[in-house]
Amino acid sequence: MFNTTIANLIGLSWWKKVSTAIMFVAVLLFVLVWILPLVGAIFTALRPLQDLRAHGFWSIPQEFTLENFAVAWDLGNLNTYLKNSFIITIPSLLGTLTLSSLVGFAVSQYKFRGNMFVYLLFLSGMLLPFQILLIPVFTLSNYLGIYNTYLGLIMIHIVFQMGFCSFFLTNFMSTIPSQLAEAARIDGCSEFKIFYKIFLPLTKPALAALGTLQFTWIFNDYIWALVLIRSDSLKPVTAGLATLQGQYTTDWGVLVAGSLLAAIPTIIVFILLQKYFIKGLTMGMGK
Amino acid sequence: MKKIIIFTLAFCLLLSFGVAVEADSLDGELIIDAYTSDPAPRAAMNEMVETFQEMHPDLDIELNITAHEDFKHAIRTWLASDTPPDVFTWFAGERAEYFVRNNLIRDITHIWEEEGLFDLYAEGYQRESIFDDKAYFLPHQTYIWGVFYNQEIFADLGLEEPETWDELIEVNETLKENDITPFTIGSRYEWTTAGWFDHLNIRINGFDFHQEFVTGEVPMTDDRVVKVFEKWKELIESDYFIEYPASYSWHEALEYMEDDEAAMYLMGSFIHDSATDELSEKLSFFPFPAIEKSPTAVEAPIDGYMMPVHAQNVEAGEEFLRFAASVEGQQNWVEDVGRVVPNPNVPEESYDEETLRERELIDGAEGIAQFLDRDMEEDFAITMMGYLVEFWENPEHYMDILERLEDERQFHFEQ
């Protein structure tokens, strides 16, 4: 592998070598620009507020401390908020994937009257901007008595994310040949078993890709949490972190340290599932 | 029959026992929603609630602190829900009145009467808390706006706190001769400019006119308003301010004071919370100097508490308000945050020299302005502050800017 690369380089024309070098430098530059905010965040999280105030954001830190992380975790209630985030995200994720894979199976594999209508209904749900739903959803959840509960937030996440997921999974499942289902049916397999034993395993890469995406979206949601949750003890990490923002003064070190801690779960999920994520996104592109 | 009588008697006994217990101690859940999300006020709020908890150990208190900006929007949905908080933090004046007009707030006149607040609290506080002769708002703490200056620079140059406009100009000129910018200001978030408008307007046209102005009934092209902008233009064109204020947030502009490049900042006393300890020690303040009116009115936004109409635990909520009105409920805000509180029985020793001076100014004021974006209808105040920033960039076009602002005012208030 290495040898062939070298051989290729030697065999390449003069111009090709230069363009590769330019490409490399350009990519490096983009990476640097991309990573700059993160580096800034890490430095801010590591310096005490007095240092930041005296010298400004773009100065070289004079002293380092890990105290911000401790304060964010303890006084900033990050431990509660992170726990809440998982209590909200995991059921939402499971609910969305379960329901929308059922929708995808039904819409893609059965020919029935109104099939297209159901499909379009989910599609239009996906196109609806969430801003216009804020007040109706608030009123509804207040009416149902699930306002300011985990359940209220989990339900809206499931319903709201189902549009996109159903659309995605319907399209994916319609690429699975229906003969597979027919063969199983002839052998006496029940309809649910066809879904469970044949289609679901085949959809795994798509589910993993969707799962990663949905986890990030639901975990990072802020606006629904703000509208539907009032109690500090129920807030997910996004809404919780925001409470560290002051009217006139904000302890930026603590806020940024908290944000860095809050980003860790998303990064872990992404690293674990990235293989599927890329595969899922590019699936069907080669046809 | 006998059975029924015994049962009724037993029931009455049980009931009276229940009542007796309740009179001594509060129980149930008390929900307090607060916007005290800055570091120092957050700590003070926590401490205050802890003290209250110790007084009522059976009470299950839930304190929810939300980011200040988000709180202002979210409180509207909270108040509309079936499960609103029992007590929430809010602003005095027009912002409080807005909720009162919409019938969302519980009348707390009886608390004011029972605690003797009508006699205790200074006139300025009452003016901002009582609407249609009923008290709806419990003022709890405030901070003054004034010119905060670096005492060291003033001492080095032999300057004294200016009391009149001419003295202020003299101070500015001396500072400029010594290569120090007189005033710093950061107007990326536009509200800082409104501080200048408020003070100039109050000092040129008086507090009563300012109160009339914030209702939106005065045309922007009125001679008195124009005069404010002419005076203001003088200041900007004499280079008494740092360059490009719109590129800084208010605390970024504070760095000019940290580096001794600027000497003064028209700001609220929360400036101490954002300054380094080193600068904070050097800071002192003087009230905005007299122009045509002497400085008897002050600008001091008041924070306090209100109770929603649908509060669940009214009894506990009212008890919390009583506590918030008392010396014990206010003292730690003076000692830990450096706020001024309305209860005059909070001992002078709790205050430091500077805040004591603030208190005297506030208690003796003919009126307390709440800052433009709290006194005026919120939407219009935001529009107006945008124009103020534009004026700052192009002071020579002030007439044109005022004419356009007048169109906005007519569109907003006369529809």
Predicted ipTM? 0.74
Domain ranges of chain A: 2-65, 70-282
Q: Does A174 touch chain B (CB under 8 A)?
A: no
Residues B338, B273: one domain?
A: no
Burial A124-148 (b: 16+ CB within 10 A, else e): ebbeeeeeebeeebbeebbeeebbb
For residue B16, is it within any domain? Answer: no
Q: What is the pLDDT of residue B201?
A: 95
Residues B222 and B339 in one domain: no
B184 and B266 together in one domain: yes
Determine the Cα–Cα distance for residues B234 and B237; give it in Å rounded to an integer: 5
Instruction: Output the CA torsion B90→B206→B183→A60 (10° steps).
Output: 0
Give B247's DSSP letter.
G
Give how many domains chain B has, as a whole number: 2
Chain A residue whose CA is closest to B82: A142
Domain contains B3: no
Residue B253 lies in a domain: yes
Identify the pLDDT of residue B13. 46
B237 & B273 share domain? yes
What is the model's pLDDT at position A61?
Answer: 80
Same domain, B255 and B385: yes
Which pair of tokens denotes residue A236?
């997910």
Is the Cβ pair B70, A242 closer than 8 Å? Answer: yes
Question: What is the SS3 assignment for B297?
Answer: coil
Contact A232/B at CB under 8 A: yes
Residues of chain A falling short of pLDDT 50: 1, 286-287
Residue B104 lies in a domain: yes
Interface check A78 vs B, CB under 8 A = no
In a domain, B107, yes or no: yes
Q: What is the pLDDT of residues B208-220, one digit of tens each?
A: 999 999 999 999 9
pLDDT at res. A34: 92
A232 contact residues in B (CB cutoff 8 A): 62-65
Classify residue B10: in a domain, yes or no: no
DSSP state of A58: T
Fold of A70-282: MetI-like fold (1.10.3720)
- Both B153 and B236 in one domain: the answer is yes
- The shortest C-alpha distance from B174 to chain A (Å) reads 26
Q: Could you report the per-residue pLDDT of A2-49, keeping only the tens digit for each?
A: 555 555 656 667 888 889 999 999 999 999 999 998 888 898 888 888
pLDDT for the residue B3: 57
Q: What is the pLDDT of residue B274?
A: 86
Distance CA B267, CA B196 (A): 9
Q: Does B137 lie in the same domain as B187?
A: no
Same domain for B262 and B184? yes
Indicate which CATH number applies to the domain containing B60.
Answer: 3.40.190.10
Question: Which of A47, A53, A238 best probes binding to B when mutated, by most B CB atoms within 10 angstroms?
Answer: A53
- Work out the minimum CA distance from A4 to partner chain B, whole angstroms: 54
Q: Domain range for residue B288?
A: 145-299+377-413
Q: Are residues B251 and B393 in the same domain?
A: yes
The shortest C-alpha distance from B166 to chain A (Å) reads 32
Please, which contacts does B57-61 make with residues 24 or more away whose CB atoms are closer than 8 Å?
B57/B25, B58/B25, B58/B26, B58/B27, B59/B25, B59/B26, B59/B27, B59/B28, B59/B29, B59/B30, B59/B316, B60/B27, B60/B28, B60/B29, B60/B30, B61/B29, B61/B30, B61/B32
Whether residues B292 and B308 fall in one domain: no
Nearest-neighbour CA in chain A from B376: distance (Å): 19
Searching chain B, which residue's CA lies closest to the CA of residue A222? B70
In a domain, B34, yes or no: yes
Q: Is there a contact between B65 and A54 if contact means CB atoms under 8 Å apart? A: no
Residue B186: φ, ψ to 5°: -120, 115
Q: Are residues B268 and B388 in the same domain?
A: yes
Element counts in chain A: helices (H) and strands (E): 14, 0
List the single residue in B42, B66, B255 with the smallest CB-CB distance to A56.
Answer: B255
d(CA A274, CA B124): 62
| Order of all β-strands in the sheet with B262-268 | B181-183, B262-268, B145-150, B283-286
Which residue ranges of chain B lie beneath pLDDT 50? 9, 12-23
User: Which residue is closest to A145 within chain B, CA to CA?
Assistant: B82
Asked whether residue B382 is assigned to any structural domain, the reply reads yes
* Mutation to test the A interface, candidates B33, B46, B70, B279, most A Cβ within 10 Å: B70
Do B80 and B221 lie in a common domain? Answer: no
pLDDT in tens, B141-176: 999 999 999 999 999 999 999 999 999 999 999 999
Q: Strand ranges (DSSP E) for chain A?
A: none
Q: Is A233 on the interface with B (CB under 8 A)?
A: yes
Residues in A closer than 8 angstroms to B78, CB to CB, are 230
Chain A from 34 to 73: CB within 8 A of any B CB? 50, 53-54, 56
